[in-house]
Amino acid sequence: MKFFDEARIEVLAGDGGNGCMSFRREKYIPMGGPDGGDGGKGAGIWAVADRNLNTLIDFRYTRVFRGQKGEHGRGSDCYGKGGEDMDLRMPVGTVITDIDSGEVIADLDQDGKRVLIAKGGTGGLGNIHFKSSTNRAPKQSTPGTPGEQRNLQLELKVLADVGLLGLPNAGKSTFIRAVSAAKPKVADYPFTTLHPNLGVVRVGDNRSFVIADIPGLIEGAAEGAGLGHRFLKHLQRTGLLLHLVDIAPFDPEADPARDAKAILKELKKYDEALHKKPRWLLINKIDLVPENEREARVAALVKSYKPKKHFVISAISREGCREVSFAVMDYLEQNRKHETTDS
């Protein structure tokens, strides 16, 4: 089973061309002087954020990227041609880290953002630069410098306003299908979602937000159990977490409140800041609970979980989903106003 949110690549920018040592030799011009041109610059390698991409799969198959070398300088004052820069297109949300130094060299958090990740070498100087009143026939030139070489770690972090959190089969994929145009796979077995799905939720003209359906977490995810540990990092960039809990699990021994608290423990183990993010409780699959038991079950779960805000929904029938969408939109807009005021 493969995940395409991480990749390692090697980038080698182009070397600069050498400067030329040459003298002008033409009939009737016995003292032509130096005419060696400069070498061209090597090609730089750039990372470009592209919103049309959503995985790093291309970098799993092509791992080495080499920039063009600059041409060497030539006689007759001819300068070498520089190498053409190379653009590596990556999904928005890709973080690029230098493996050797551990330095984060680029965070492609906006569409179209372009960052130099390997600098091309500079061209050498031809002997025309060394001419002087005392040295009219310089036999000097300089070589081009080598291009930068780097081993890079690419890590894609989903950019979304809202992240869905919950156990496998809590109904996250069904919920995102109910509130957006995204069509993630839905089935009645664990780990249906194998990679993050993004959906745009529109609640009116010029009112929308991006929601991310993250693979389900299980107890021990922070230590690497299950699939969700590979995607906990995606939740770090969201402004609001929606924790879906199945109020009517098939397993008679399952305890929705206990299982919900287990997920919160995994968040805290992984990242304290992630655990402190604003989080609402979505009590899902209410349609599977007999009407005379609904109020008591919901009250017990809310009392145990103690959420700041909770909603009772049925993602499959879309009951309550519209109310959640509008509440989330209002919350995000209010937050944006505060951020604008503070800045």
Structure token digits, residue 251:
């397993």
Give me the phi and psi of 273, to 5 degrees please. -65, -35
Give me the phi and psi of 327, to 5 degrees please. -65, -40
Structure token digits, residue 85:
């820069």
Cα distance between residue 257 and residue 302, in whole Å: 8
Our measurement of the distance from residue 75's CA atom to the centroid of its chain's CA atoms, rounded to an integer in Å, reads 48
| Domains located in the chain, CATH noted | 6-156 (2.70.210.12), 162-342 (3.40.50.300)
Q: Please state, in angstroms and as integers, the Cα–Cα distance from residue 331 to each residue in 161, 309, 336, following that order.
A: 11, 11, 9
Q: Can you list the alpha helix ranges (DSSP code H) found in the chain?
A: 58-61, 172-179, 256-270, 272-275, 291-305, 321-342
pLDDT at residue 182, rounded to an integer: 58
Angle between helices 291-305 and 256-270 (to 10 degrees): 30
Our measurement of the distance from residue 13's CA atom to the centroid of its chain's CA atoms, rounded to an integer in Å, reads 23
Structure token digits, residue 75:
């006689």
pLDDT at residue 231, rounded to an integer: 54
pLDDT at residue 11, rounded to an integer: 96
Number of residues in the chain: 343
Structure token digits, residue 335:
């937050």
Cα distance between residue 38 and residue 75, in whole Å: 10
Paired residues of 135 in beta bridges: none
75 SS3 class: coil
pLDDT at residue 166, rounded to an integer: 82
HSE (side-chain half, CA atoms, 13 Å) at 113: 17
pLDDT at residue 184, rounded to an integer: 46
Cα distance between residue 67 and residue 148, in whole Å: 10
**pTM attached to this predicted model:** 0.59
Cβ contact 196:164 at 8 Å: no
pLDDT in 10s for each residue of the chain, 343 residues = 233 468 899 999 999 999 999 988 777 777 778 999 999 999 999 999 987 776 787 887 889 999 999 999 998 889 999 999 999 999 888 999 999 999 999 999 888 999 999 999 999 999 999 988 788 888 889 999 999 999 999 988 766 788 888 887 788 888 988 888 656 444 443 433 445 677 778 888 778 888 887 665 544 433 444 444 455 666 666 789 999 999 988 777 888 888 888 888 877 877 787 788 899 999 999 999 999 999 999 999 999 998 889 999 999 999 999 999 999 999 988 887 776 565 5
Cα distance between residue 118 and residue 106, in whole Å: 11
H or E segment to which residue 275 belongs: helix 272-275
Which among 336, 176, 181, 197 is positioned nearest to 242, based on CA atoms? 176
20 SS3 class: coil
Cβ contact 54:198 at 8 Å: yes
